[in-house]
A and B are shown apart, each in its own frame.
Chain A
Amino acid sequence: MPEASNIVDLRKLLAERFGQAVRPRKTIMPEAVPTGIPTLDSLLEGGWPKGGLSELVGPGVGSGVVQVLHTWIRQTASEGQFLVLVDAGDSLDVDALEPRVLARILWVRGRSADEALRSADLLLRDRNFPRVVIDLKPCSTQALGRISSSIWHRFRRLTEQHGTTVVVLTPQPLVSGASCRVQVSAGPDAALETLRFELVRSGILQGTQARQMAG
């Protein structure tokens, strides 16, 4: 393997001569979709897993879930992408987003968890939508309790199949088999930079995402 050894030697030589310049830079993994919040991106090693079903848990009122959502929407718009928001509680604050951002949202204004999940099912079967948010946070505990776990299994398969990045916003851990689960809580002054994130490892992780999480 003379050629391979030459390359190794060359790399060593360059590293000795130029040091920092040739050190491999840490880049965002192509499998991750940036959230727009540096601390969260750092925690998730780049962002939400692409082609994965993620869960953002925000217990109680004022947990910061909406701030995370709005930041991701803005991040998506800045990338020239678009995002689908399946809003079970019809609670998007339109006044808080810029017109250019609003133009990159497809908003499904649901009336219940059941309606939102049926809408999400339609959307996930269409491979046109790269990013989907399902906001179940406003739903009652009873309504969330009636959701069958098989729905999440189906959603996970659809997201993997079409490469869709799906984030489900919930008030409590709900999505079985989620690729990753993050719990968010507000800081003392409820500012975005003071949000606290905690990665809750899921018991059912598969494939590259599992390796990413483990790493």
Chain B
Amino acid sequence: MSPLFAVLYIPEFSLQSALRHQPELWDRPVALVDPAQRVARVIGATPAARAVEVVEGLATPQALARCGDLLVRPRSPGGESSTMDALLQVAFGFSPAIEDTAPGLLTLDLRGLTGVLESSQRLAWARRLKTATDALGLRSRVGVGPTPNMARLAALWSEEVFVVGDATGFISALPIAALEPTAHVAGILAQWGVRTVGEFLALGRADLADRLGLEALALFASASTTSVRPLRQVRPPERFEESWEFDPAVETLEPLLFLCRRFTDSFAQRLEALGMAGEELILRLRLESGPDHRKRLRLPEPARQSEALFRCLQTHLETLRTEASVVGLSLCLEPTRPRQRQFSLFEAVIRDPHQFQETLGRLSALVGADRVGSPVREDSHRSDAFRLVAPDFENAPTMESRPGRWLQAPTPMRRLRPPAPARVEIGVRRVSSQNTLTATEVVSFLSPDNVATLLSPHFGQGLQELAPTAERPATKASEPRAASESQRQPLFVSSAVASGRIRRLEGPVRRSGHWWEGVGWAEEEWQVETERGEVLKLVCRDGHWTVDAVAD
């Protein structure tokens, strides 16, 4: 098996990394400067900038003097690192053996890849690699050759894609500068009239070594068409991170969404190459003032589609209001293995989990995050103690079908949240000869505070004046209590939701809890039916009566 290598080369890697998310700037004069240097000097420039003599080494004022429209961008080591991660991840989709040779230069060992070994397939394969890399917003070159060095020279000295067929002919045609001689040797060779590698090799290895010394041997080795060095293979990092600095700061949603779309496109492509899926997105917005906005957005199920990732971000950003302008955007993705499942025929599943999550997000924005979800009862005896959790219908326990049992279930009621304050008369009731209830003693009313609340305009509409009657004598608190505590029952209720004498009742159900923690609670619950047929759930807490629920 003849060896075969490919080199993926990104010319002006630092500049390309800086402009990766703004490809439109390639047509404008842009210079890249390194802010880490003592004097900021140009380290890269676009063709439009080079056309007006903005070249490497110029100080920033000099560059601006040559081109008034020049855009100066700072070098971003973090951005270069992210770009390199992206390159490795994309390249891993083409070959498992990759060497991170230099910034912006990857060497791929293609031995064992049967689809590439056919000569007729090599060019198409190299073009696919270039297309995949260019989709990251980069302008790449790809070279394929029998040795790592041949592939590197093919990538460096070609326009876009080059596959070395005749290695000797290819290397011979290259200019001598391709071998990167020192300036001294390059000057000597120029004086000799040696312009190409072929002319250099024709002079003979021994004779050149006699005249130029050891460097000649090194140049010969560089021009070798058979020498294969071992690659220092690396694994692509499972790290997905993109960031962007806004200059000037942005206050609207569109620029954020625009960049988020680019980031998710990049993530999607890289996930595809690695055969992974995204599980969680971590969004960070750096604000002009105040703390950063950080949000972890968990995907409903692992996904690698750009649309699914983007919609998750869009739903969150559309409902977000920040206190200050945004100066930086950072997006990380937590990868995981894609989930494979086989659903049963009758299983109820969410058809589109991402749409489901998006709708939940919109509902949360509309009614509040604490008001949407599946209810779960709290571990408490207190009535109406529950919390809402994120729905998980696919893993919800199944329920046995027992329609007959449902018919015997207790009558459900309509909860009042918050409970309606009520005025309740308590006393001992006795059944008269006509099977009607009469109160012989009334010993408890609401506290004066609650009465005041009831008489407020909001609650006063349903309140009726409780005139003493023969059946319901007036309260006499000082009257000796004839009945024991256990015999006293609600006799009359008055509230905004229902009022009237109580015809039937059930209870009391007394509950208490947390008394051992100093925050104890206690409540007494009665289910009563008024003479109008309204069924209510009356609850007394700390001497205050409320209507907690109504049968409807």
Contact = CB atoms under 8 A, between A and B. Distances in A.
Contact of A108 (B363, B398, B416): B363
Given A62-B533, A110-B367, A78 B377 contact: no
A190 to B, nearest CB: 6
Interface string B364-402: 001100011111110000011010100111001111111
B321 interface: no
B391 A82 contact: yes
Interface string B518-552: 00000000000000011100000000000001111
A50 interface: no
Interface string A168-181: 00000000000000
A98 B397 CA distance: 11
A128 B350 contact: yes
Nearest to B360: A106
Interface in A76-105: 77-82, 89-105
A15 interface: no
A106 B372 contact: yes
B471 interface: no
A36 B371 contact: no
Nearest to B405: A74
B409 A96 contact: yes
B396 A103 contact: yes
Nearest to A70: B412
B498 interface: yes
A66 B355 contact: no
B371 A93 contact: no
A75 interface: yes
Given A78-B401, A192-B407, A62 B551 contact: yes
B414 interface: yes
B494 to A, nearest CB: 15
A137 B366 contact: no
A127 B552 contact: no
Contact of A61 (B363, B397, B403, B550): B550
B410 A96 contact: yes
Contact of A107 (B352, B374, B410, B417): B374
A82 B413 contact: no
Contacts of A94: 375, 377, 384, 386, 415
B552 A137 contact: yes
A119 interface: yes
Interface centre among A36, A66, A106 (most CB of B within 10 A): A106
B363 A93 contact: no
A6 B498 CA distance: 70
Interface string A32-50: 0000101000000000000
Nearest to A90: B417
A65 interface: yes
A128 B406 contact: no
Interface string A107-145: 111110001001100110111101000000110000000
Contacts of A71: 406
A80 B346 contact: yes
B449 interface: no
A198 interface: no
Contacts of A51: none
A105 B498 CA distance: 30
A58 interface: yes
Contact of B377 (A64, A102, A125): A102
Interface in A8-30: none
A160 interface: no
A62 B397 contact: no
B31 to A, nearest CB: 49
A172 B180 CA distance: 89
A111 B418 CA distance: 12
Nearest to B350: A128
B478 interface: no
Contacts of A126: 352, 355-356, 358-359
Nearest to A111: B367
B24 interface: no
B371 A108 contact: yes
B458 interface: no
Contacts of A118: 366
B377 A66 contact: no
Nearest to B417: A90
A183 interface: no
Interface in B426-458: none
Given A78-B400, A104-B396, A111-B367, A96 B412 contact: yes
Nearest to A130: B348
B118 interface: no
B399 A98 contact: yes
A151 B346 CA distance: 33
Contact of B552 (A36, A61, A108, A111): A61
Given A102-B377, A105-B375, A127-B352, A66 B551 contact: yes
13 contacts: A61-B550, A80-B348, A93-B412, A93-B413, A96-B412, A103-B397, A105-B375, A107-B372, A110-B367, A127-B352, A137-B414, A137-B552, A192-B411
Interface of B: 346-348, 350-352, 355-356, 358-359, 362-363, 366-367, 371-377, 383-384, 386, 388, 391-393, 396-403, 406-407, 409-417, 497-498, 533-535, 549-552
For the complex of A and B, 4 pairs with smallest distance between CB atoms: A78-B401, A96-B412, A103-B396, A109-B371
